[in-house]
Amino acid sequence: MTIIASADGSALGNPGPAGWAWYVDDDCWAAGGWPHATNNQGELTAVLELFRATAHLDEDLHVLCDSQYVINSVTKWMPGWKKKGWRKADGKPVMNVEILKEIDEALAGRRYRFEWVKGHANHPMNEAADARARAASEAFQNRSPVPTGPGWTRDGAPARAAAPTTSAPAASAQASPAPEASAPVATQPDLFSFDELGDIDDGLSPEGTEWRELTLTLSVDEHARLLGRARDHGVSPEEFLRSLI
């Protein structure tokens, strides 16, 4: 049997009040967050908490994720980072390394695969995870109770709500051993994965293709308008920007 679950993150302002969530169905999901973190930290933590919630099961895990940064980090870049002492090709420390190390440990002995799905494109499970991650980030923004969900409730497991995190995850780099990663799914970086733009040098570009890095600084209002316009067009923010070129 294969467990199919969606994982997503949210950050208001990026960085700002942030949330994460994984979702199987309306009776089986969890969420949490921080007063201040990045969207990538939320995306990574959603995956980590999903693997932790299913650690007691001997079943394949099929993870739906709209972040190519997360998919490539876990399935493609991480083995090379570990060999280099958790440093990138340019010698700089890997961002969000503490979460990545925990994911690395959580993957040991697990059977899993990642599938990229387009965000804000009416994919039911992705939309459900996104809504719960955003609700968590808004709760931290408004200083209201965080909707943490019932936790894992399948296979007779007792319902257990995820505890909301109150401090942002660290982004420093340290080395640690880890298992082999599965084959990569995504082949192109997410333009809004601000933490890891430099990783397009880690073998990501197809042969014969030249990439140019773009760092874009937006105000909170500009970022919100961009997300809204992309959502209205049913595409990701980077796809919306590319359509303007």
Does 182 score more than 80 pLDDT?
no
Asked if 238 and 120 touch (Cβ cutoff 8 Å), the reply is: no
Catalytic residues: 8-9, 43, 66, 120, 130
pLDDT tens, residue by residue, 75-121: 999 999 999 999 998 999 999 999 999 999 999 999 999 999 999 99
- Average pLDDT over the chain reads 80
Does 204 score more than 90 pLDDT?
no
Predicted pLDDT of residue 207: 35
Percent of the chain with pLDDT over 70: 71
Does 244 score more than 60 pLDDT?
yes
* Overall average pLDDT of the 128-134 stretch: 98
Of residues 46 and 203, more confidently modeled:
46
pLDDT tens, residue by residue, 211-241: 566 777 887 777 877 877 766 555 577 766 7
Grade residue 192 by pLDDT with cuts at 50, 70 and 90. very low
Nearest in space to 42 (alpha carbons), one of 64, 18, 6: 18
* 239 annotated ligand-binding residue: no
Grade residue 200 by pLDDT with cuts at 50, 70 and 90. very low
Of residues 195 and 153, more confidently modeled:
153
Predicted pLDDT of residue 80: 94
Grade residue 178 by pLDDT with cuts at 50, 70 and 90. very low
Predicted pLDDT of residue 208: 39
* 90 annotated ligand-binding residue: no
* 43 annotated ligand-binding residue: yes
* 199 annotated ligand-binding residue: no
Asked if 11 and 18 touch (Cβ cutoff 8 Å), the reply is: yes
Question: CA–CA separation, 69 vs 44, rounded Å?
Answer: 9
Q: What is the CATH number assigned to the segment(s) 2-185?
A: 3.30.420.10
Does 210 score more than 60 pLDDT?
no
Neighbours of 196 (CB within 10 A): 20
Predicted pLDDT of residue 230: 64
Percent of the chain with pLDDT over 90: 60
Does 206 score more than 60 pLDDT?
no
- In order, the DSSP letters of 13-61 are SSSEEEEEEEEEETTEEEEEEEEEE-HHHHHHHHHHHHHHHTTT--SEE
